[in-house]
A and B are shown apart, each in its own frame.
Chain A
Amino acid sequence: MRWQKIKSIFKKEFVSYFNSPIAYIFIGVFLVVSMWLFFQDFFLLGQASIRSYLSLLPWIFLFLTPAITMRLWSEEKRSGTIEILLTLPIKDSEVVMGKFLSSLAFLAVNLLLSLTLPITVAILGSLDLGPVIGGYLGALFLGAAYLSLGLYISSLTRNQIVAFLLAVVASFILFIIGSSMVVDSVSLWLAKILSFIGLGSHFANIAKGVLDSRDIIYYITFILFFLFLNTKALSTRHWK
Chain B
Amino acid sequence: MIKIKHLTKKYDDLAAVDDISLEINEGEILGFLGPNGAGKTTTMKILTGFMAPTKGTIEFDDLDIVEDSIKIREKIGYLPENNPLYEDMKVYEYLAFIGRVRGMDRSTLLKRMKEMIELAGLKNVIKQPIIELSKGYRQRVGIAQAMLHDPEILILDEPTSGLDPNQIVEIRSLIKKLGEKKTVILCSHIMQEVQATCDRVIIIADGKIVGQGTPQELTASATGNDSMYVKIKGDADKILEEVGKLDNVVEIVKADKESEDVRGYKLSIMSGSDIREELFKLAITNNWSILESKKEAVSLEDVFRKLTKN
Residue numbers in B under 8 Å from A79 (CB-CB): 84-87
Q: How far is the CB of B97 from chain A (nearest CB, A)?
A: 5
For the complex, is A20 an interface residue (Cβ under 8 Å from B)?
Answer: yes
For the complex, is A120 an interface residue (Cβ under 8 Å from B)?
Answer: no
Cβ B54 vs Cβ A240 within 8 A: yes
For the complex, is A80 an interface residue (Cβ under 8 Å from B)?
Answer: yes
- Chain A 203-240: CB-based contact to B (< 8 A → 1; otherwise 0): 00000000000000000000000000000000001111
Cβ B85 vs Cβ A87 within 8 A: no
Cβ A80 vs Cβ B103 within 8 A: no
Residue numbers in A under 8 Å from B100 (CB-CB): 8, 11-12
The distance in angstroms between the C-alpha atoms of A4 and B101, with both chains bound, is 8
Q: What secondary structure prevails in chain B residues at the interface with A?
A: loop
- Using a CB-CB cutoff of 8 Å, which residues 65-107 of chain A contact chain B? 79-84, 86-91
For the complex, is A5 an interface residue (Cβ under 8 Å from B)?
Answer: yes
Of B29-37, B71-79, B172-180, B290-298, the one with at least 4 CB within 8 A of chain A: B71-79
Residue numbers in A under 8 Å from B84 (CB-CB): 79-84
Residue numbers in A under 8 Å from B88 (CB-CB): 16, 19-20
For the complex, is B145 an interface residue (Cβ under 8 Å from A)?
Answer: yes
For the complex, is B123 an interface residue (Cβ under 8 Å from A)?
Answer: no
The distance in angstroms between the C-alpha atoms of A16 and B85, with both chains bound, is 14
For the complex, is A62 an interface residue (Cβ under 8 Å from B)?
Answer: no
The distance in angstroms between the C-alpha atoms of A8 and B94, with both chains bound, is 12
Q: How far is the CB of B87 from chain A (nearest CB, A)?
A: 7
Cβ A87 vs Cβ B103 within 8 A: no
Residue numbers in B under 8 Å from A4 (CB-CB): 103
Of B14-22, B42-50, B228-236, the one with at least 4 CB within 8 A of chain A: B42-50
Cβ A237 vs Cβ B70 within 8 A: no
Residue numbers in A under 8 Å from B73 (CB-CB): 87-89
Using a CB–CB cutoff of 8 Å, the interface residues on chain A facing chain B are 4-5, 8-9, 11-12, 15-16, 19-20, 79-84, 86-91, 237-240
Across the A-B interface, the 8 shortest Cβ-Cβ residue pairs? A80-B84, A238-B52, A8-B100, A89-B73, A87-B48, A89-B74, A83-B80, A81-B84
Write 7 A-B pairs (CB below 8 A) sorted by A numbering.
Answer: A8-B97, A8-B100, A11-B97, A12-B86, A81-B85, A84-B80, A84-B98
